[in-house]
Structure 1
Amino acid sequence: MATDKVHDIMRYNYNPLDFMFAPKSVALIGASEKENSVGRTLLWNLISHPFGGTVYPINPKRNNVLGIRAYSSIRELPESIDLAVIAIPAVGVPNVIRECVEAGVKGAIIISAGFKEIGAEGVKLEQEILELARKGNLRIIGPNCLGLMCPPTGLNASFASTSARSGNVAFISQSGAFCTSILDWSIKENLGFSGFISVGSMLDVNWGDLIYYFGDDPLTKSIVIYMESISNARSFISAAREVALSKPIIVIKGGRTEEAAKAAASHTGALSSSDKVLAAAFRRCGVLQVDTIKEVFNMADLLAKQPRPKGRRLTILTNAGGPGVLATDALTWGKGELASLSDSTIEELNKILPSHWSHSNPVDILGDAPPQRYAQALEITAKDENSDGLLVILTPQDMTDPTKTAEELTKITSKISHKPVLASWMGGSGVATGVEILNRANIYTQPYPDDASRLFNLMWRYSYNLRGLYEIPSFAQSDNFIDKDLADNIITHAHQTNRTLLTEYESKQLLQAYGIPTVTTQIAETVESSIESAKKIGYPVVMKLHSETITHKTDVGGVRLNLTSEEDIKQAFEAIQQGVSDSDFLGVTIQPMINLEGYELILGSTIDPQFGPVLLFGTGGQLVEVYQDQSMGLPPLNSTLARRLMEQTKIYTALQGVRGRKPVNLAQLEQILVLFSQLVIEQPLIKEIDINPLVAGEYNLIALDARVLLYEPNTDKKDIVPPAIRPYPSQYISKITLKDGKLLKIRPIRPEDEPQVVTFCKELSEQSVYLRFFHSISYQSLISHERLTRICFVDYDQEIALVASYRNPDTDEKQILAIARLSRVHGNTEQAELGLLVKDSYQKQGLGTLLGQDLLKIAKKEGIKTIIAEILPDNIGMQNLCRKLGFTLEKTADLVTAIYSH
């Protein structure tokens, strides 16, 4: 491969949308001199804000526009074009896109309206445009959008009346009108942007593309989104999960009014809504959702200035009782907590505060507090390990000096790096200088203390969600619990009999196939067989209607409890039979009457049209819709995510033990949630499933009833919405034998592997680390949890990381011998980067070659056409390996680039 081709590939690997934000040439199709027209405004914005490139007006009716030579079509331009801005009637856009593709244009912004927002005709136009664009790898922003600005490069490819200031916030909006309002407000507030984009209909470039782009942009410190619809759910979640680790992503969602669920027959369907599902998705990928425009930019500013708190405990320091009380109310209403001051903290405060101070949190240091008292109190409370953050409130009383107090606080806060410090300087012009001093020192300020408490609550929730994503889970291996063949057969049989509703008996068998405990159940078609079953099980028993058509048995009198004799059995059987039609009655089921002392829970799943399977957990029983105590999450789950799902409900407090009642077996409940999520993922023909109730007692958890609804038997696979998060790719598990006879398991990495990866890192030489990562890394940095999350917590849509695992047959000890990784390039799903690291003691035994061969096969299955490996010149072993695998190598003085193409 030619060197210039290599450079071209590498350039767009790392800046996949640079031609949008830093173009060398821009063509404006629809340039105009007409006053107040979009075409004129666009051209004026492009030429009056130098971005270092050339602007070419396209107008077949004019020789020049605003004194600049115009061209009749993009074909006539003297050079290739990075970006085309299109502002012509919608019907003409497909032909322009065709010309752009023929001319090799890299990106287009379609300003024009008149597409899917007008109905079927507009949808047809959009599809035609998309098909044309994909033939030439042309990326599109829009249609029906305001355009974009990139203040750091000077580009203004929009028809906004004002240009954005340069700064470090990337702002992305689905509403053009919202963009202009924010733009006007930002000028007043002196807020700057690293990017300002109106995405319109998101025909091509979507949330995920832009999140990845600004995630890689060193100038961007936070990403702010105004969202009306999610579009490509998988792309959004993949990008957000990765970028949120290093940069806050703050979303305000429009259109959050809850609509009645269509699937009213399902408890889960009735309890779900698109807004709840979206909130669950945001939690799952570490996105911070806020409710107001004010909170959006307050949080962007706050997270840029202060570290995230590790917990929800806030210490409030104030010179007035009332504001401290209001701040406390706002904190506790938002489920934050007042920090409990330690004895040593109180002792230290006693030494420096007047005797009448509050002696508790909020720490009221009294109205006559001079600057030094504030500073000393802050220094002492900041050291308290019971506190996760601090709020300092100042009211301008006669003896108060807001300016000097601010100056003293900045000296203390410069030493506080592990927890956030917020300030509320209450007042107007009298405190303005103090506020300015605090802001310059990166101490976030709010005029009202209750608002500051609300922002702290948003901060700790954001931290809480991120930690949940990357805590090491404890439960991974589920194969021993699962009989997938049995589950497949149950569903196949139902479809063969042209059914979508499993019977209760089949539903329980399905749960048992996935290791979820259920009550013993037998089918009886007659009174006599019912009596026989009852004798085998032992009185008392429960009798339920056995039907392939009735959804909720209690609604038709189809459940009879505490039957203690043959006469009870006979009467119950006859009553159930008479309560339904002959076609609905297939007999009854008999099961033991279990008087479990425990809590009735619900565990369910339904299909969201954008996110696919969605899980629901919470308080169950007959009044499940009344109590409305449920949380939602996305599968697959691990033990950590299962616990987080539980923690979001009120019933979780009771499950931990309350009022003398012992806690339930939470570890088993976690395991059930994980297995249930695997059932939902591995059986995509399930449309809805409810376990209600799942009874949770001190020692046992058992599913007493279940309902499973399938897709229609003839449903096309492409009409089944896949999970928003790709599950563990077990199809890539294999086994190999080394030259020394050791049998190794090759499998995709799991979060649960982190402890083994730590051991793996311990046994690497400095040379191996240097050759793999291009620089030396200290041992502590190498094994830090923050770093290992990047290695072990894999988004399988974006990366496939294989580990070579060896189990010692004598000790049963497992160890990882090598890690090989295939990572898709941001913005180009057909390209990926290869990384490989083998433990020193297992190098030169063919392990790297075997892993490399596996990754090449996986790449083909995953639709990856080009694989790139960057290698240091002195890493001869990796260069030889790449040659053996069929890579082409291009060498420079500092780097060897290996490229493989299918």
Structure 2
Amino acid sequence: MQNTLNSIIEPAYDILRTEKANPLDFIFSPRNVAVIGATEKQGSVGRTLLWNLISSPFGGTVFPVNPKRNSILGIKAYPTIFDVPEKVDLAVIATPAPTVPGIIADCVKAGVKSAIILSAGFKEAGPEGIALEQQILQQARLGNMRIIGPNCLGVMSPHTGLNATFASAMARPGNVGFISQSGALCTAILDWSFRENVGFSAFVSLGSMLDVGWGDLIYYLGDDPHTKSIVIYMESVGDARSFLSAAREVALTKPIIVIKAGRTEAAAKAAASHTGALAGSDKVLDAAFRRCGVLRVNSISDLFDMAEVLAKQPRPKGPRLTILTNAGGPGVLATDALISSGGEVAPISEQTRTALNEFLPTHWSHDNPVDILGDADPQRYTKALEIAAQDPNSDGLLVILTPQSMTDPTATAEQLKHYVESSQQKSQPAKPILASWMGGADVAAGEMILNRQSIPTYAYPDTAARVFSYMWQSSYNLRGIYETPVLPTIDSGSGIPNRQYVNKIIQTARLAGRTILTEFESKEILAAYGIPVVGTCIARNEEQAVECAEKLGYPVVLKLFSHIITHKTDVGGVQLNITDAESVRRAYRAIESALQEKVQTDPHYAKLGSENPDIFLGVTVQPMVKTHGYELIIGSSLDPQFGPVLLFGTGGQLVEVFQDRAIALPPLNSTLARRMMEQTQIHKALTGVRGRKSIDMEALEQLMVAFSQLVVEQRWIKEIDINPLLASEEQLIALDGRIILHDADITEEQLPKLAIRPYPTQYIGRWTMRNQTPVTIRPIRPEDEPLMVQFHHTLSEESVYFRYFHLIKLSQRVAHDRLTRICFIDYDREIALVVESQNSTKEAKEILAVGRLSKVHGTNTAEFAIVVSDRVQCQGVGTELLGRLIEIGRDEQLSKITADILAENHGMQKVCEKLGFRIQRTADPTVVKAEFDL
């Protein structure tokens, strides 16, 4: 056998892995619980909590802790946590806020693994409460203790029987993981769940999220076999990157549905830029949810309706719904609800219409909604459904039944059930089927039949139509979930941005104490990133303005040149369509006098003028560009939760009047840029309307990607606008640009962090194999999928066996769904390095090896995986890759790197030992474990 240097592990979705303990297991599945603050006092949190723990047995021991009592509710009590006779997994604390830091310190010393702090009086109480929280966190970090709360209701794990809350009842077991920041809402949801017979896999009140946040719990419930869907009541995002990273990974396999309080909250105010005024924080949140595959809904009933339907039905591949009904009115109501919520009525194909004509009564609707008339029997329903489902124009079906004299709701439900079963047996393409059986008690038996067949039923057809629209929205969001951002190659000059020149402009302004760049400086930065700008010349006096105009050619535009004034039109600082030298002089004087008048009459500008004697520095002269085309705006501003955000939409002077814009998180790739543009009304015009040709949409996508790269790389930029960007059939050109820098007192460490980690260019490097073949080692990209297909063709059966612990067919290894998960990764959670070389015979690049470092959920450790093409083994590739993964682990501040290796894979074990790994036996004699402490 060849000396194969292949690792043995793959990401969790790909191969068998040994179980890894998550620290949150001590919260959801503790062996024992200490109740600190347990008491006999009627109506108190401590008494209710203790009673809930002992009345819903979770299979462990409960230890009340109270220095003033020997027993509570008949259970022996202990004066301190140190007196408890066993090591405690979970401490639930219900004592006054000032006592909690000391209690947490004692718990850490006693080896307690986790805590839930129910007590209030922390962040919500002001600065003193914030200080208490920081003390708690400092103590908890000393013992790697995980904490839920403070100021929360607690945690229920219905499948294990754990009720560590002070709620009045225990949730029913089920498959919905529910997380809420509001304890009061938790109790309301709990009451509602009993009426609606909804069960939960977990029921969690997060409170202030001092430690455990959304990301931790999404990962945990994503790994939980009892959880089929995750529903969230959110008041604040907390750690945005953690939330987005976790949601992006989990949402593909388990739907995540969020209701977010504060939708009508005032937009975040960023006064100095159009982008800041337009990019309201709630719109940013919507953009963030789209980017990570999360579905946002508006009501609590929608929250659980979607949890049910997404767990039961396949997601639609498009927005078009076919409505089948035995009454016209309900069909019309469903249509209105569908269109108003973003769905579409599926057009009936001629083939479908012909097939329906063959058996439906003459007076059927002949369109969608498909009204099969009030005398429809079960057989007519079934046959119509079979035909409608085959229509390629349809992405889903809604069956509406109203009880009429000829109607048999129960038999029709049975027929629908048999149709679904038959379709599944024939492996027909899956389309979601929803039902609205109207009529209350008269249709109850039919509803029960459908629900048992996992066909969701709704009392009203408009509700069902809105649910379908939400399903499509979820599908649309998920389509982009693996479109991991890749920094573009700018097609300008050398092919890369002139970062050195940009840094010089920014640092010169900062050294001068300026935060506002001039229009000229802003355009120079845009041009350095390959964004076309209109030529600009600076004139300090009238004669220089004339020289510039004659050099550029008439007609020209004059604009105010100032380090202080950014919105030039507000002060009369723009003169258009100037055709000769004398007009240039008059325009220069007009701009200067308009500014002087503003300084004399407007208190705001008077203050600016007194503080800045050089408020007028001259003018800039630009060619008068023909303005036929569309005025767009592209910008970026800061969101307090998500950092830099991007804006695209209709631009020009009335940008804030039209408010036609889309928001997205950087960085972008071309697909994400296109999807961002598709959300605007102007997009329809850009693609061609009323005889006008489309602009170069591909070029506009690349410009958006380049702008995104600028925002990602130039972190000293606080706000940036291109307004307008003129888009026509002939060209894309930035007519104006403005950039605002962060304040001088901001340090580099304080600069806002991107919510989504961009492509890690710092891990790109060159290397030479033992046979002198030069290669590039770099992080994997989404575009690498075709190269990964070729790579898998180069692996022998032995290599495959060492990688997966069993043989996997080539067709399975190169399946698109699998490779997207490998190539479209979240760089905040894992880094995959590929070894790339130029294939001399084919004049194409090829991948020779892949090394992956994946963080383990809930820990500060990571697992590595390496696979090397058989024809380049024994060339030092495996050793080099593993060495680089170790360095990445250090950069990412991990504590340990591990791997499970087949005992017979001696080559990989030798590589590990060479680099300092410990090789240890495991309970499975066929597997050894490699560990490296960082």
TM-score (norm 1): 0.97
Alignment of 1:847-886 (within 5 A): 847-886=877-916
CA distance in 1, matches of 2:558, 2:576: 7
- The equivalent position to 2:107 in structure 1, one of 92, 100, 106, is 100
Of 462, 471, 474, which residue of structure 2 is paired with 1:450? 462
CA deviation string 1:29-63 (max 9, x = no partner): 01111111111111111111111111100010011
Verify the 8 A CA contact 2:483 2:669 in the aligned structure 1. no
Moved more, 399-408 or 532-541: 532-541
Query: Matches of 2:407 and 2:894 in 1, distance apart?
Result: 66
| CA deviation string 1:274-293 (max 9, x = no partner) | 11111111111111000000
Secondary structure of residue in 2 paired with 1:214: helix
Matched, 1:49 2:56: yes
- 1:374 alignment counterpart: 381
Task: From 388, 402, 406, give the equivalent of 2:395.
Answer: 388
Q: How does 1:531-610 map to 2 (within 5 A)?
A: 531-581=546-596, 583-610=614-641
- Which residue does 2:352 correspond to in 1? 345
- Contact residue 250 and residue 296 of structure 1 kept, 8 A: yes
2:433 aligned with 1:421: yes
Greater mean deviation of Cα atoms: 328-337 or 451-460: 328-337
- What runs of 5+ residues in structure 1 fail to find an aligned partner? 1-9
Give the match's secondary structure for 2:302: helix
Distance 1:669 1:561 in 2: 26
Distance 2:28 2:804 in 1: 30
Pair 1:898 & 2:920 matched: no
Q: Distance in 1 between matches of 2:35 and 2:680?
A: 54
- Residue 633 (structure 1) aligned to one of 661, 664, 667: 664
Question: Which residue number corresponds to residue 3 of structure 1?
Answer: none
Deviation at 1:471, TM superposition (A): 5.1
Farther-moved stretch of structure 1 (77-86 vs 883-892):
883-892
Aligned equivalents of 1:809 and 1:628: distance in 2? Answer: 53
Equivalent residues of 2:483, 2:824 under 8 A apart: no
* Cα distance in structure 2, aligned partners of 1:470 and 1:350: 44
Equivalent in the alignment of 1:488: 503
Q: 1:522 aligns with which of 537, 550, 566?
A: 537
Q: Give the Cα separation in 1 of the matches to 2:691 and 2:402.
A: 45
Following superposition, the deviation at residue 621 of structure 1 comes to: 0.6
CA distance 1:473–1:664, shift in 2 (3 Å): farther
- Residue type of the alignment partner of 1:882: C
Q: Residue 510 of structure 1: SS of its match in structure 2?
A: helix
Q: Which residue of 1 aligns with 2:163?
A: 156
- Equivalent in the alignment of 1:134: 141
Amino acid at match of 2:49: L
The aligned amino acid for 2:570 is D
Q: Is the 8 A contact 1:472 1:640 kept in 2?
A: no
Residues 467-866 of structure 1 correspond to what in structure 2 (within 5 A)?
467-470=479-482, 476-478=488-490, 480-581=495-596, 583-808=614-839, 811-828=842-859, 830-866=860-896
Question: How far apart are the structure 2 equivalents of 1:832 and 1:294?
Answer: 39
Specify the alignment match of 2:13 in structure 1: none
Q: Is the 8 A contact 1:38 1:87 kept in 2?
A: yes
- Residues 16 and 213, structure 1, Cα contact 8 Å, conserved in 2: no
SS at match of 1:470: coil
Match of 1:60 among 49, 53, 67: 67
Does the residue aligned with 2:495 lie in a helix, a strand or coil? helix
Task: Choose which of 408, 420, 441 in structure 1 pairs with 2:453.
Answer: 441
Given that 1:279 and 1:289 are in contact with CA atoms closer than 8 Å, whether structure 2 keeps it comes out as yes
Moved more, 251-260 or 802-811: 802-811
Question: Are the counterparts in 1 of residues 482 and 821 from structure 2 also a CA contact under 8 Å?
Answer: no
CA distance in 1, matches of 2:805, 2:360: 54
Larger mean Cα displacement after TM superposition, 876-885 or 596-605: 876-885
Aligned twin of 1:464: 476
Aligned pair 1:305/2:323, yes or no?
no
Deviation at 1:811, TM superposition (A): 4.7
CA-CA distance at 1:474 after TM superposition = 9.6
Query: Which deviates more, 352-361 or 731-740?
Result: 352-361
* 1:90 and 2:97 are equivalent in the alignment: yes
Deviation, 1:756, is 1.3
State the 1:767 CA deviation.
2.6
Q: 1:735 to 1:191 in 2, by over 3 A?
A: same
Amino acid at match of 1:136: G
2: CA distance, partners of 1:556 / 1:611: 34
Structure 2 partner of 1:29: 36
* Pair 1:233-2:265 in alignment: no
Q: Which amino acid aligns with 1:849?
A: T
Structure 2 counterparts to residues 349-360 of structure 1, below 5 A:
349-360=356-367
How far, CA to CA, are the matches of 2:485 and 2:370 in structure 1? 38
Q: Distance in 2 between matches of 1:606 and 1:778?
A: 48
For structure 2, list consecutive stretches of 5 or more residues without a partner in the other structure: 1-16, 597-612
**Structure 2: distance between partners of 1:293 and 1:191:** 13
Provide the alpha-carbon RMSD of the alignment.
Answer: 1.5
Please state how far the C-alpha of 1:808 moved relative to its aligned partner. Answer: 3.2
**Shift in Å, 1:475:** 8.2
DSSP-derived class of the 1:181 partner: helix
In structure 2, the residue matched to 1:5 is none
* Superposed displacement of residue 261, structure 1: 3.7
Greater CA drift, 628-637 or 881-890: 881-890
Say whether the 8 Å CA contact 2:486–2:758 is kept in structure 1. no
Mapped partners of 1:346, 1:779: distance in 2? 43
What's the TM-score, normalizing by structure 2? 0.94
Letter in 2 for 1:862: E
1:835-863 per-position Cα deviation (integer Å, ceiling 9, x unaligned): 11111211222111111111111111110
Q: Which residue pairs with 2:605 in the alignment?
A: none
Distance 1:651 1:14, change over 3 A: farther
Alignment of 1:211-222 (within 5 A): 211-222=218-229
Matched with 1:242 is 249
Asked which structure has the greater RCO (Cα within 8 Å, sep 6+), the reply is 2
Cα distance between partner residues in 1 of 2:197 and 2:534:
65
Distance (Å, rounded) in 2 between the aligned partners of 1:146 and 1:789: 40
Asked if the contact 1:475–1:671 (Cα under 8 Å) also holds between the matched residues in 2, the reply is: no
Q: Percent identity?
A: 62
Look up the match of 2:3. none
SS in 2 for 1:445: coil
Paired residues for 1:274-285 under 5 Å = 274-285=281-292
Offset of 1:117 from its aligned partner? 0.7
Could you tell me how far apart the structure 2 residues matched to 1:669 and 1:13 are? 46
Q: Could you report, residue by residue, the CA deviation over 1:417-438 in whole angstroms, capped at 9, with x for unpaired residues?
A: 5110000111111111100100
How far residue 873 of structure 1 moved from its aligned partner, in angstroms, is 2.0
2:304 alignment partner, SS class: helix
Aligned AA (2:933): S
2-side partners of 1:180 and 1:831: how far apart?
36
Which digits, 9 at most, give the CA deviation of each residue in 1:436-466, with x for residues without a partner? 1000000111111111111111110110111
Structure 1 residue 740: deviation in Å?
1.7
What residue identity is the alignment partner of 2:895? K
The answer (yes or no) to whether the contact 1:475–1:639 under 8 Å persists in 2 is: no
